[in-house]
Amino acid sequence: MSPASVLFQNESHTVVLLDVPRTLEEAQLLPGELQSGTTPLRRLISTKPPETPFQTPEPKHGQLTQTASTPSAQVAELMTLAAVNSALDEVHHGYHGPWCLPRLMPEAEVSEDCSSGTKRCAPFPEDKQVSPVADQVYIPKEAQFLLGTVQSQRAALISQDVLFDLMILDPPWPNRSARRKKNNYATADGLDAVRELLSLIPVRSHLSTDGLVAVWVTNAPRFAELLTSTGGIFAEWGLELVDEWTWLKVTTKGEPIYPVDSAWRKPWERLLIARRLGSSIKTPNPRKVIVAVPDIHSRKPNLRGVFAEVFRPGYLGLEVFARNLTAGWWSWGDEALHFQHGGNWADV
């Protein structure tokens, strides 16, 4: 039985429609607890889902954009564009339900039925007042965490005799717009700083023989090239690129949040997946497209359930630059408890 976070999945499992908050709620339970259905989910406080695409200014003639600059980057962008268009078409034709589940929002925000985008058109239990406990931190069962920067906690991880089947990284890629916003997550000062940071992560010593490393990248081609180029980070870690997944961000009506042909911003993020050189492990559903309505900025969908198709039951994962915990997994980062604080959760 598919978890409630999976709203739609095609027969080949190359396209999946997820509810982002529900993936994180489900990740607070061990897989066995989730399957039994006997343990109630604590609800995650979210933000109002977008009903319409965001406006983004297009560059004037002669202005620099983030358009792919090298032939390989141009091919990658075209392949991503084809994949997301095909996935969106498949969901529209094969699924006729809501594009996200009803969300629990702070009292200051107006509740909304995601399936219609109409304010207060349907009263959900989520519309009741919530009373999160701000000073409490929720730690899921069997969750381990290293709270601190990569530099400060590297020795602590190296000292652990543990091998991970999956390592998911969400690096702090340089982002000028993110740095301009208050109360946003920290980003690196430049590409050299990111490379130095990634080089400190002990992938070689802590990735299992047939393990995978999955790295989120934004749409600036130089970020992917830092990982995949000759002499790049994957090569430094002894890895080779084996697959690329895409998270397509849509509105409650199933429209991309930005035009797919926008020169400034794309409505997707990519997940580059690598394996050890010489490993035979494969992802069974190559070039998967994850379609989901976004939530709070920097809140990614939890991928434990999606990667369950790749690994044996009970596989062990590590999230680096984590902002939340996952039951049974390890999390590492100076904000690893960010979304675990009681102010982000409510019992309803």
Digit-coded pLDDT (tens) for 314-335: 999 999 999 999 999 999 999 9
**Would you call 330 helix, strand, or coil by DSSP?**
strand
pLDDT in the model for residue 124: 34
**Between these two residues, 177 and 196, which has the higher pLDDT value?**
196
Confidence of residue 344 (pLDDT cuts 50, 70, 90): very high
pLDDT in the model for residue 114: 44
**Between these two residues, 35 and 18, which has the higher pLDDT value?**
18
Confidence of residue 283 (pLDDT cuts 50, 70, 90): very high
**Contact of 239 with 210, CB cutoff 8 Å:** no
Average pLDDT in the 125-130 region?
43
pLDDT in the model for residue 74: 83
The structure's pTM equals 0.88
**Contact of 220 with 269, CB cutoff 8 Å:** no
Average pLDDT in the 190-204 region?
96
Centroid of chain to Cα 295: 11
Q: Which amino acid belongs to residue 250?
A: V
pLDDT in the model for residue 189: 74
- Residue 287 φ/ψ region, left for φ over 0, alpha for ψ in the -120 to 50 degree band, beta for the rest: left
Q: What tokens appear for 152 in the block?
A: 């400060």
Pairing mode, if any, of strands 15-19 and 6-9? antiparallel
Give the C-alpha separation, 242 to 281, whole Å.
9
Share of the chain above pLDDT 70, in %: 85
Q: Please report where in the chains the tokens 């989901």 appear, as a residue.
A: 292
pLDDT in the model for residue 242: 97
pLDDT by residue (tens digit) across 66-124? 555 678 878 888 999 999 999 999 999 999 999 999 999 987 654 444 444 433 333 33
| Residue 136 confidence (pLDDT) above 70 | yes
List phi, psi (to 5°) of 256.
Answer: -55, 140
**Contact of 200 with 207, CB cutoff 8 Å:** no
**Between these two residues, 58 and 31, which has the higher pLDDT value?**
31
| Residue 59 confidence (pLDDT) above 80 | no
- Alpha helices by DSSP H, 111-159: 150-158
DSSP H or E run through 320: strand 317-320
| Residue 210 confidence (pLDDT) above 50 | yes
Q: Which amino acid belongs to residue 164?
A: F
| Sequence-ordered list of residues with C-beta below 8 angstroms from that of 63, at least 6 positions apart, any chain | none
Domain spans of the chain, in order of start: 6-54+69-346
Please give, one letter per residue, the 3-state secondary structure of 34-102.
Answer: HHHCCCCCCEEECCCCCCCCCCCCCCCCCCCCCCCCCHHHHHHHHHHHHHHHHHHHHHHHHCCCCCCCC
| Sequence-ordered list of residues with C-beta below 8 angstroms from that of 111, at least 6 positions apart, any chain | 102, 103, 105, 119, 120, 124, 126, 127
The number of beta carbons lying within 10 Å of the beta carbon of residue 6 is: 17
pLDDT in the model for residue 20: 98
CATH of 6-54+69-346 given 3.40.50.740, 3.20.10.10, 3.20.170.30, 3.40.50.150: 3.40.50.150
Give the C-alpha separation, 247 to 270, whole Å.
6
List phi, psi (to 5°) of 215.
Answer: -120, 125
Average pLDDT in the 218-231 region?
93
| Sequence-ordered list of residues with C-beta below 8 angstroms from that of 128, at least 6 positions apart, any chain | 348
